């Protein structure tokens, strides 16, 4: 993997019971961590996705992202307006783009996403791409459920997924 000289700016968003590491490049939000996970999760992700990049804490730079996320966690925001900087394969990008099309408070299945990107046989690959989503909440992979409606894997853990879906149901 080639060296990436990008600086990744990060902050710790603490809102009520929520504690999430967030990070952005100069191009936009590139990472939202799992609920109550240590800084190591962010450091390891940055080392894998942006090898050679520097991690710099900058609460002021991340404040606009933290503000939108806080509004979401309060049930006051249903969509995000700030730029993203997600990097992945063309397939992952297609899946992540499709996730952004799932309306607030609604869910879709993995097979629905596969159909949406015109790869109906790629349900498992869709699951893998969803699992690689670096920007939890804003790229709403928590809105993807099993075909029978059951909650399935989530990088942030099923408790976090349950809480996000409940928040959205209650804020409709």
CA distance 172 to 169: 6
Active site (annotated) includes residue 100:
no
* Vertex 163: Cα angle to 167 and 119 (nearest 5): 95
Here the tokens at position 19 are 């504690």
Pairing state of beta strands 54-57 and 28-32?
unpaired
Distances, alpha carbon 35 to alpha carbons 74, 110, 166, in Å: 16, 23, 15
CA 153 distance to own-chain centroid: 14
CA distance 172 to 170: 6
Q: Which of 94, 141, 145, 164 is catalytic?
A: 141
**30 closest CA partner among 15, 3, 48:** 48
- So which residues are the catalytic ones? 141
């Amino acid at each position: 993997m080639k060296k990436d000289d990008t600086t990744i700016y990060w902050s710790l968003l603490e809102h009520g019971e929520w504690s999430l590491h967030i990070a952005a490049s100069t191009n936009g939000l590139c990472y939202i961590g799992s609920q109550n996970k240590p800084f190591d999760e962010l450091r390891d992700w940055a080392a894998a996705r942006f090898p050679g990049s520097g991690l710099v804490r900058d609460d002021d730079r991340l404040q606009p992202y933290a503000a939108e996320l806080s509004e979401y966690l309060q049930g006051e925001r249903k969509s995000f307006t700030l730029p993203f900087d997600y990097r992945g394969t063309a397939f992952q990008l297609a899946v992540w783009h499709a996730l952004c099309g799932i309306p607030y408070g609604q869910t879709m299945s993995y097979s629905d996403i596969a159909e949406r990107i015109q790869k109906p046989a790629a349900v498992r690959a869709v699951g893998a791409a969803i699992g690689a989503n670096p920007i939890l909440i804003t790229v709403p992979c928590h809105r993807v459920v099993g075909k029978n409606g059951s909650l399935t894997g989530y990088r942030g853990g099923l408790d976090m997924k349950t809480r996000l879906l409940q928040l959205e149901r209650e804020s409709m």
